Amino acid sequence: MNRDLHNYRKSYEKYFLEEENLPETPLTLFTKWFKEVEEAPGVEEANAMTIATKGNDGFPKSRIVLLKKYDEDGFVFFTNYASEKAKAMDNDPNVCISFFWPNLERQVIIKGIISKTSEAESIAYYNSRPRGSRLGAWASNQSEEITSRAILEEKLKALEEQFKDKEIPKPEHWGGYRVQPISYEFWQGRPNRLHDRILYSQVKDNWNFVRLAP
């Protein structure tokens, strides 16, 4: 089957990036963009981000996770520490996270070094999750092969009975990761494919930015 997609065309004309209006720190610009995306219609989960890792099989792999916190210390998400991506990150802490916000014709690409959050931070977030999500962290051996969905449903039902009227402790195999950025690339769509690309790179304790050709 051959499907021709040559007729997919869109002109990006909503916003622009000019050097004289850029802040000194990329986190300031990220915060501004994130707020604008939250307030604009068209994206249900502004915090959905792609994280790319180098797998232990030598292949890169990307998947969507949900950003749960960001500040000067980095970008935080939570997952199963025994998952495929966790094993890849344990082996190689160099990762890339990216955000695509088509409603405002924007992307942000962040390279960084990943590390686990503190146990206290992981517990605090785990306890804030809905009860069903907390049980789900126990029910799924993430990335492991299973023979059917029924196995998950049966395990969840057993866990609901096990923890009925009880607190649900955080599993040892579940917790947070923090990406500490070393570079940010801000991409703003522009007409004629002459998009704005601004790259911030960290130099010691400061950030420098340059413009990249689209």
Positions marked catalytic: 193
Per residue, what are the HEC states of the chain? CCCCCCCCCCCCCCCCCCHHHCCCCHHHHHHHHHHHHHHCCCCCCCCEEEEEEECCCCCEEEEEEECCEEECCEEEEEEECCCHHHHHHHHCCEEEEEEEEHHHCEEEEEEEEEEECCHHHHHHHHHHCCHHHHHHHHHCCCCCCCCCHHHHHHHHHHHHHHCCCCCCCCCCCEEEEEEEEEEEEEEECCHHHCCEEEEEEEECCEEEEEEECC
**63 and 80 Cβ atoms separated by less than 8 Å:** no
| Residue 214, CA distances (Å) to 7, 49, 61, 171 in order | 21, 22, 24, 45
